[in-house]
Amino acid sequence: MLLVVIKYLGRMTKAGLIVFIAILLIFNHNSAAQDKEKEKEKKKKEKHFEAKVGLGSFYDDNILKYSDKYLERFMNNEDQGRFHIKTYDDLVVNPSLSFAYNFTVFGKQKSKISADYSLSNYIINDVKNWQSFSIGYQQFFYKKASFRLSYSYIPDFYVRHFRDADLVEFLGYIPETFVPYSFSKDNYGIWIQNTFFKNTRVRLLLNYALYFHNQHYAEYNCENFTYGFSVLQKVHKKVSVEAGYEYSTSDAKGYDGYQPGERKGFSDDANATYEDDAFALSCTWQLPKVLKLSHEVDAGLGYELRYYTTNDFIHTVDGLEMDEEHAGRVDNNINLVLAYNVQLKKNFDLSLFYKYYWRDSRTTSEVNSEYVSEEKDYSQNQVGLKISYTLKF
């Protein structure tokens, strides 16, 4: 066949050859045009925007993380002025909204901008209501390597009421000396991750947080640094395990400035500076489909060791006085998370979860060890569900 074509071309006139070449060029042009059209159609089908609407609700049996000592005082109507809640437990409604935009900026490498909003609304005790905002930017180097920059903001988070020692000094032990302890928080974060050996994802992270407390507790203003890493490993076709470690430092202001000449270590205020080691282990198991529904179970366990670094004594105008709540204090924290997730439809997901928190506080000083334990030990249970709908366009 090839020989026939060559012989035929040899017999063609110059005009005929020109016409033949023109036909080939037109064909190639049309073919290239069709490829471009297909590429355009492919890009048109790509959905760059993603919106996710969530609605969760859970029961919390200890909303203020009270120790047994204060739960008993609350139920006995003691400590007038301390408790600004109607119940120590509550039902929380948690709506959320997130947006994401995917695009390419460096060649064909993917980029992602996201924004999130979340509200925690307590049905009975609205003093605990709080909200958070966050934005993020993720950039891929190639398919499995990326970094992410993020910022989140909590405008007002209520912890509980405490006695203000400065007010007690002037007014005595009256109900009005109980004032709210609350703060706002700015958090700046970055992580970088890559996948090695096909199924091993390694992530490094750094967070910087600023806490600003209300006027009664300015000594607790602080800046925190967190350094950490995690490894996600697929151990089976349907099972993944993740382990991580984080080290945190918190540098508290240590004085409120009410008295002239105050500075950290030389005031009658608390110093909540601490260091923290946190370990986490979690597992995800994708279960066999039931009624064509994809579902999985998650289990996570965390352990946190926090040790406060203030000296046993602080300097006051009258001499030396122990910082009872922080001197030599060591906190052991445990948290447990269990979840069942199911994809009901293509864009519709349901999650059922249980969370448990526990803290045991002790001190290296025998003088205030029992006091700290009675003040700070607590346990907390949360059980609930969340539904979410994802829309891509």
Please tell me whether residues 42 and 156 are part of one structural domain.
no
Mean pLDDT within 332-350? 96
Q: Residue 35's pLDDT is what?
A: 52
Structure letter (DSSP) for residue 61: S
Mean pLDDT within 19-29? 42
Q: How far apart are CA 159 and CA 180, in angstroms?
A: 8
Tokens 């500075």 belong to 263
Q: Residue 52's pLDDT is what?
A: 97
Tokens 């366009």 belong to 393
Please tell me whether residues 314 and 377 are part of one structural domain.
yes
SS3 188: strand
Mean pLDDT for the chain overall: 88
Q: Is the pLDDT of residue 30 over 50?
A: no
**In the structure, what pLDDT confidence band is assigned to residue 11 with cuts at 50, 70 and 90?**
very low
| pLDDT tens by residue, 296-316 | 999 999 999 999 998 755 444
Q: How far apart are CA 220 and CA 316, in angstroms?
A: 18
Q: Residue 313's pLDDT is what?
A: 58
Q: How far apart are CA 241 and CA 216, in angstroms?
A: 44
Please tell me whether residues 364 and 221 are part of one structural domain.
yes
Please tell me whether residues 25 and 63 are part of one structural domain.
no
Please tell me whether residues 40 and 93 are part of one structural domain.
no
Tokens 């009664």 belong to 216
Mean pLDDT within 35-44? 53
User: Please, is 254 exposed, middle or buried when counting C-beta atoms within 10 Å of its C-beta (0-12, 13-18, 19+)?
Assistant: buried
DSSP string for 294-335: EEEEEEEEEEEEEEE---SEEEETTEEEE-TTTTTEEEEEEE
* Structural domain that includes position 297: 49-392
Tokens 């400035």 belong to 257
Q: How far apart are CA 97 and CA 133, in angstroms?
A: 10
Please tell me whether residues 185 and 225 are part of one structural domain.
yes
Domain total in the chain: 2
Q: Residue 260's pLDDT is what?
A: 79
Please tell me whether residues 239 and 170 are part of one structural domain.
yes
Q: Is the pLDDT of residue 119 over 90?
A: yes
Mean pLDDT within 79-91? 97
Please tell me whether residues 378 and 366 are part of one structural domain.
yes
Q: Residue 36's pLDDT is what?
A: 54
We report the CATH number of the domain holding residue 316 as 2.40.160.40
Tokens 């992410």 belong to 148
SS3 175: helix
| pLDDT tens by residue, 237-260 | 999 999 999 999 999 999 987 777
Please tell me whether residues 15 and 157 are part of one structural domain.
no
Phi-psi domain of 230 (left: phi exceeds 0; alpha: psi -120 through 50; beta: other)? beta
Q: Residue 124's pLDDT is what?
A: 98
Please tell me whether residues 62 and 11 are part of one structural domain.
no
Mean pLDDT within 210-223? 96
Please tell me whether residues 241 and 219 are part of one structural domain.
yes
Mean pLDDT within 324-337? 93
Out of 103-107, 183-187, 226-230, which region has the weakest mean confidence (pLDDT)?
103-107
Please tell me whether residues 246 and 322 are part of one structural domain.
yes
